[in-house]
Amino acid sequence: MSEPTQISFSTIDEAVKALSEGGLVVVMDDEDRENEGDLLLAARHATPANVAFVLRHSTGILCAPMPAATADALDLPPMVDSNTCPKGTAFTVTVDVRDGTTTGVSAADRAATFRALADGSGATTADDFIRPGHVFPLRARPGGVRTRRGHTEAAVDLCELAGIYPPVGVIGEIMDKDSGEMKRLQGCYELARDHNLPIITVEQLVRYLDARDAAAAAQQSEEVRLVAECTVPIERSGAYLGEWQMKVYAGEKKGQHDEPHSHIIALVKGDVTADDGRAVLARVHSECFTGNTIGSMRCDCNDQLTEALKMVADAGRGVVLYVQGHEGRGIGLVNKIKAYKLQTEERLNTYEANTALGLPVDERSYETSRAIFAHLGIRTLRLITNNPSKIDALRGMVADSVPLLSPVNEHNAGYLKAKRDMEQQLSTLKRSTDSAGTHRQLKRSIKSILDEHPASGVAAAKESGVSAAVSAALLEEAQAFNAYAAAPSVALGAGCSIETSHITKEMPLTIPDHVDTTRLRVGIVRTLWNEGFVGPLTAGCKKGLAAAGVPEKNVVEVSVPGSFELPYAALSLAQSGKVDAVVALGVLIKGETAHFENISAACANGLMEAGLKTGVPVLYGVLNCYTTDQAKARCLAPSQLPMSLGLSAVRMAALKTNAL
């Protein structure tokens, strides 16, 4: 019998580096637990070759550990209602990715499934997977290896340390192929040594994370101190949000333009210290005197603050940090006003104006915010943000991010466009198209639409008095939201379910097999106003068209400023002879005047007249909502109303062409 090899473990940093570069790592759990080793790689880096390697050296059952939020987003529920597994391993339903695979069991097919599960762009949805399949997703427990010392949590923690988001891994239990038994430490070490792989233990990872947090806490204790606190009732936009704990912290001066004695206000709702494994909903909101105090429409700060407070209030538990010293992305109020003047007089965007003043485009730091979260006893966050730099700055704490949708107006359209162009928005706003074309990003400008469809209603945009610059900015904003939104799909034969917080309606929107939908042509006329809702509404409608088999080249899209212009655009498009049906999309939200009722009635009557006059079906996809919450329930996931509008347009186009 050969002498046992002297075992020397790698460092956590070496393992993290290997993962970030697409390599494999061997992870050992505790001797008094399973005392087994797993091969681990980041699912994002899965290839036929490295998956085949894991298959050769494992049981052949490959799992995909992921945060619960990622599993929820992909509709991966627990495999069983009552988990009696001795170690509590949280298996979900098994899956194979639908496109580009055959049986799903080969190394190549499983690699494709792993990559799809780790697709952080948002282009992959629950509908892209077949159930059951050959890959076993696992739900990691919030808090990682410090709440459950398993390979599942280790995989997610290590991916997070490697900066891989979403942190989805691939793990396979290492097995001795000759004996059929699981390899223990000695055998796992020899495998790692022979293939030059880092080998670490879960215990190492726990100590590493504890040491990191202790060092951060020691530094942070010097950076913040609680100086005052009280209870305060909060009301925003007419909605009472209940009582909150207000805690005022004194923070360090981080940027040269910060106020000398800046403070951070923590608005705390509910018990955020509860050790129940749930990530805490949180928002880090930059001070904005112009937006939050005087109601300037040049930014979306006031809308974002209101929405964040409402989200936390609805959740019943969370924190909103209001950070002084972040005015104008850290340049201070005086410089911000100077930048505003340049934006107005020199037509510079928000970043160009900062640069013209010799100032950084963004000087904000989030270390003090991290320190306050730690002081509040919060380890993991569901961060409300559209800004990837905040996620990066709070790396290690952020388990999930929650986007904010803000209304777009003619005053802030350029600002929002500039933020996106500087890559300050979430990567989900930059979805690439998939092979079926169900998540298409609009690439046209107003000019190109006019060139392609001279009879279309986009002429109304020129006649409306909206400047070309604002129209272009709004259109680009529409592109981003169209790419961002994706309503869940349904099987055409099963009908379409529309869900709101109050009711569920089933509609029999089946398309008979004999209808050749590839020959149908559909026009979409949609508003730029209320883009945060109309963008997702349009994306879902287009998904319905694609699901029914209407080719992308057969879909004509026209944008107009508001709902009042929709009848003109619909009539022009219907008269062009280029479409078999038109669907009009918009969102009207009631204000304080009779404008809502007048526009709603005029739009409905005008669209009906356009259809009757031309003989081309014109579908009414304009939502008349009393509140923004009603608009959210109908336009945003999980509502299937947007998709149903596309399916309805297909059915009416088939009726018009006598295909039904």
Q: Which residues are catalytic?
A: 362, 364
Rounded Cα distance between 364 and 20, Å, is 27
- Beta strand pairing status for 496-499 and 504-507? antiparallel
Task: Extract the tokens encoding 549.
Answer: 């088999």
- CA nearest neighbour of 160 among 260, 65, 225: 65
Residues in the chain: 660
Rounded Cα distance between 45 and 598, Å, is 55
CA dihedral sign of residues 472, 473, 477, 480:
positive
Residue 11 gets the label, from left (phi > 0), alpha (psi -120 to 50) or beta, of: beta
Rounded Cα distance between 464 and 561, Å, is 7
Whether residue 304 contacts residue 233, with contact meaning beta carbons closer than 8 Å, is answered with no
Count how many Cα atoms sit within 13 Å of the Cα of residue 147 in the half-sphere of its side chain.
17
Cα 456–458–464 angle (5° rounding)? 135
- CA nearest neighbour of 539 among 488, 470, 474: 488
Rounded Cα distance between 441 and 560, Å, is 18
Whether residue 188 contacts residue 71, with contact meaning beta carbons closer than 8 Å, is answered with no
**Cα dihedral 300→301→306→308 (10° resolution):** 100
> What are residue 244's DSSP bridge partners?
232
Instruction: Tokens 């209940």: give the residue.
Output: 242
- CA nearest neighbour of 536 among 645, 386, 624, 421: 645
